[in-house]
Amino acid sequence: MSVEEYHIGQLYMIARHSSEQSDGGEGVEVIENVPHTDPSHGEGQFTEKRIHLSGKLPPWARAYVPRFIYLTEKAWNYYPYTETEYTCSVIPRFSIKIRTRYENNNGSSENCLNVNEEELKQRIVDHVDILTDPVDERHYKKEEDPATFKSEKTGRGPLKEGWRECAEVIMCSYKLVDVSFQVFGFQTKVEEWAQRAIRNVLLLGHRQAFAWIDEWHGMTIEDVRQYEIGMQEETNARIRSAQEKLDSDSSEAEKKEKGIDSDGTEDALDHSEGSESEKKQDSSSSKGSGSGTPVSPQKPGYFSSWFKWS
């Protein structure tokens, strides 16, 4: 497709993709979506979103972060140029910055984002091909496979090996992705994981933009903005409802652990007196501290300690 066509396709794809990835209290919640003017780039759109993702983190990371963790995404869209920034709700030294430019070519531009010499030395160029690159099997759908999809409205597809060299209508999305996580012992692992995660999202999203072309092709910018608003309202309501349910379930579980019924009254067991064995445990804990001060049964985790010195 062309850069001009993708202006509509991108907005449609992001709105629908975000909705499909939002379930069980996780996904993309839109906080703000308003017109924005920049002195250098002109008229555009500013969006702020919360990406709830604790369940999407790798197992090694879940032990260190709260259950409700989210990224804040701030994006300035001056199509065909955009800037996006991500920060984390609980990790102040983590950030992602993405600069994007769309051009009507097959990826032949060497430096369309005007990267300086120092950045060029660090840059690793990674070509993302929506036809040949493998997609996570959890997200694979035959109807979204460019190797089998054929557009009824435009006649485009299925894509064949070497399509990038012979396609008459083609554009490339150039993205400079800068990930920073300044925490000793975790920096390389987290930065590499974030780069892979972003690449996977871009691959899936752009495959979908092509496979969904019959649904958005012919829309005006006003049409797709209305679609975007509708999907955002539906997704926000679904995420908030799921989170309220999770909060309620968590609260009930905590009450049961403390021996408190749902109506707020305590169980028959008188916790204020406690058992003889509990008193002995408290006494031994106090002695063990060496100062007569009870020892806390919970020790601060790695990130709790890190927040104090950061």
Tens of pLDDT, residues 234-254 = 988 888 887 677 667 666 666
Give residue-wise pLDDT tens across range 204-215: 999 999 999 999
Strand order in the sheet with 172-181: 27-38, 42-52, 70-78, 81-88, 94-103, 172-181
Cα–Cα distance for residue pair 212/195, rounded to 1 Å: 26
Q: Is 18 exposed, middle or buried (0-12, 13-18, 19+ CB in 10 A)?
A: buried
Pairing mode of beta strands 172-181, 94-103: antiparallel
| Whether pLDDT at 163 is above 50 | yes
126 vs 129: CA distance, rounded Å: 10
Q: Which fold has domain 3-244?
A: Alpha-D-Glucose-1,6-Bisphosphate; Chain A, domain 4 (3.30.530)
pTM of the model: 0.74
Domain range summary for the chain, segments of one domain joined by +: 3-244
Distance of CA 192 to the CA centre of its chain: 15
- Cα distances (angstroms) measured from residue 85 to each of 43, 54, 182, 219: 19, 19, 16, 28
- Rounded CA-CA distance 195/175 in Å is 12
Q: What is the pLDDT of residue 55?
A: 56
